[in-house]
Structure 1
């Protein structure tokens, strides 16, 4: 259910029937000449709509403004909110949801820069509301890194990267008219991995970067539809497992 359409007289019934709230997190950020500034907002909203209604979610509006990294802040169209302000804003939003009595909250994220603030907010709010449980979902992690390679969706690349074919194909599946790759748009090779181990590398001007990266000529509707189906399926399985765990824990506590 979409919270925007809930009438005042219905609030108690809706909050009692909802198993969890969904807060989509987006951004207004440059993603290359071929991509909309609202890429992350489109993705956050799109995947929120694909949360299985049978799980009884209460869907909140997407938060469109957030903290953007230095490597995109100076590109035209990017609007960046200071991280401290975004953390305070998101804290107020989720505490308002907790005050309604909804203790299970999914932060459904589509913007890399939201990962740190979302974790900070979740950890902080659980100190005020001990019964609160946050599931932070980054949509692009709902399909394995080698998923596109196993299916041969892209050639010579997994497609990952800001504004790259993985992300923009997913946008194309949700809003086909919003991705417009032209022959003159540059193909960019991102920095090769430093290790097979997970790591975080933060740079103001990464290798193979012009406000985006990747072999964008490989963006396709077909690849995007496959990615969105896989990510949505795994997202709903993850949410179901989380809810089942919460029910089991609550039952054992009684």
Structure 2
């Protein structure tokens, strides 16, 4: 049995202070850091995701349709499976990729009886990581956590002089419906990036690597609770 890691990001506007590749950078950096600890190979990062909800209000966003993302991930995994990779870990850097990625997971495990697939969102690797990401906004985007990570991992992708004016409050509290970002944010940010720092980013990233590495190491020997074929009827 062999395991592969697929980082999935997005190309999306991240306020006036961050580059459009934030979701790619965080997913890819986390994947390679975990690989360094576990020896698991990392596939090339998928740089486009499902960013339909970010709208076309701000230049820089390029979105795939959900079905396109599903198809891409399924086809990548199919080729990996052909070369004996039957444990597939998807590290997702963009929140709204999750639904298509979950659909891809369902398709893969229904096609291959021996394939196990897991998805980990960078902002929800563990409860303590989730607490950091959600500290300044429930519907966070380009917030303190993401800005801190970029200051630590890719400072060339940050405009420090724009951070102080980039904040925008979370307007989604109490809403029943899901609204696109053009109706919840004035600048593509939700949260308070002015509180970000390189030191916080370093601490947060170390936390993410430690927690995900521990999970994946344990998963390398995981077996299904029951040894029953998907295709065998009673």
Partner residue of 2:131? Answer: 146
Partner residue of 1:176? Answer: 155
Counterparts of 1:201 and 1:237 in 2: how far apart (Å)?
A: 36
Partner residue of 1:111? Answer: 94
What pairs up with 1:220-231 in 2 under 5 angstroms?
220-231=197-208
Counterparts of 2:35 and 2:49 in 1: how far apart (Å)?
A: 26
Distance verdict in 2 for CA 1:244–1:194, change over 3 Å: farther
Q: TM-score, normalised by structure 2?
A: 0.85
Q: How far does the alpha carbon of each residue in 1:18-50 deviate from its partner, in whole angstroms, 9 at most, with x for none?
A: x41001001110001100011111111100111
Counterparts of 2:132 and 2:64 in 1: how far apart (Å)?
A: 33
Tell whether 2:185 aligns with 1:202. Answer: no
Q: Aligned match of 2:170 in 180, 185, 190? A: 190
Partner residue of 1:44? Answer: 27
Q: Aligned match of 2:71 in 73, 81, 88? A: 88
Instruction: Give the superposition deviation at 1:237.
Output: 1.1
RMSD (CA atoms): 2.6
Counterparts of 1:26 and 1:174 in 2: how far apart (Å)?
A: 15
- Structure 2: state its 5+ residue gaps: 229-234
Which deviates more, 205-214 or 34-43?
Answer: 205-214
Which deviates more, 179-188 or 211-220?
Answer: 179-188
Counterparts of 2:35 and 2:63 in 1: how far apart (Å)?
A: 32
Asked if the contact 2:168–2:190 (Cα under 8 Å) also holds between the matched residues in 1, the reply is yes
- The total of aligned residue pairs comes to 224
List structure 1 segments (4+ residues) > 6 angstroms apart after TM superposition.
none
Counterparts of 1:160 and 1:234 in 2: how far apart (Å)?
A: 23
Instruction: Give the superposition deviation at 1:192.
Output: 6.0
Asked if the contact 2:6–2:43 (Cα under 8 Å) also holds between the matched residues in 1, the reply is yes
Counterparts of 2:32 and 2:54 in 1: how far apart (Å)?
A: 30
Distance verdict in 2 for CA 1:54–1:231, change over 3 Å: closer
Q: Aligned match of 1:163 in 135, 142, 148? A: 142
Distance verdict in 2 for CA 1:53–1:186, change over 3 Å: closer
Q: TM-score, normalised by structure 1?
A: 0.79
Counterparts of 1:104 and 1:189 in 2: how far apart (Å)?
A: 40
